[in-house]
Amino acid sequence: MKTRRHADTRAEWARKNKLLKKRYLLARNIRLPSAFLRLLPQSEGREEPSGKMTFSKAVFLYVLGGLVGTVWETLLNLFRGRGFVFCNGSIFTPFNFVYGVGAVVIILLLKNRKKWWQVFLIGSLGGGLVEYILSFLEEAVLGTRSWNYSHKFLNINGRTTVPYMIFWGLLCLAVIYIVYRPLDNWLETFPKKAMKIAAIVLFCVIAIDWMVTVSALIRYSARAEGTAAATFIGEWIDRVFDDAFMKRRFPAMKIN
């Protein structure tokens, strides 16, 4: 009995030493600050994220980033005394596409970066670039602008600003060091088949939402120019998503 207890004790110490060694290697390899390291989940499985970006993970990251962005923008408008404002940037889903796309791009660019200044620098430039490109494409394709920073300090063609780029860099530090790695570990605990099915369903919903939203915005801009609908689909869009509806759902949008 005594020998068995000693064997159990040795096995327990061996298990703890193995976990401590993994944690040390994780800290050495990705150079996480100790304050951030304590936030990582301490399970007996793998502590390091797989590092592989799958279709399912990309969809869930888009959903999470878009939802957080919508909540953030909504609370910001409430704090500024503007009341409740639709900030999702779409018609059917609550996922703000700028934050959703930004979350996926940020993690694709930064998930393997080991130095904090690399995360901050690339995140700042990448966040500003995403914001600039999305604004340019919206104006070029739809003839509308959802944001215009021309009156703000150090703006770049009114599509982004240097202070906002710094904000993107700080946000990237938080996303990579506090959110993504524990989130990646958590996502790995779900059955792969179930995750793939859920991701496909969500992707289809998002794709439909994008198609309807873009179509409604195109007709919104065309109506402002006095262009009548040429098809029955356009007539249906004009009837269901009329100007009053579009102004309510996209209050910050300006038609050029």
pLDDT over 90 for what percent of the chain? 35
Lowest mean pLDDT among 54-58, 82-86, 119-123, 183-187: 82-86
Kindly tell me if the per-residue pLDDT of 209 is higher than 90.
yes
Query: Partners of 206 in the beta sheet?
Result: none
pLDDT at 41 over 50: no
Q: How many residues does the chain have?
A: 256
With residues binned 3-state (H G I as helix, E B as strand, rest as coil), the percentages for the chain, rounded to 5, are 70, 5, 30
In this model, does residue 72 exceed pLDDT 50?
A: yes
Q: What is the mean pLDDT of residues 10-19?
A: 60
| Residue from 76, 120, 72 nearest 98 by CA | 72
Alpha carbon 17 to its chain centroid, in Å, reads: 37
Residue 110 confidence (pLDDT): 85
Mean pLDDT of 206-233: 91
pLDDT score for 44: 41
Predicted pLDDT of residue 140: 84
Q: Quick one: which H or E segment has residue 157? A: none
CB-based burial label for 27 (10 Å; 0-12, 13-18, 19+): middle
Strand-pair partners of 156: 160
Phi, psi torsion values for 160, nearest 5 degrees: -155, 175
Q: Tell me the average pLDDT of the chain.
A: 81
| pLDDT band at residue 177 under the 50/70/90 scheme | confident
pLDDT band of residue 113 (cuts 50, 70, 90) is: confident
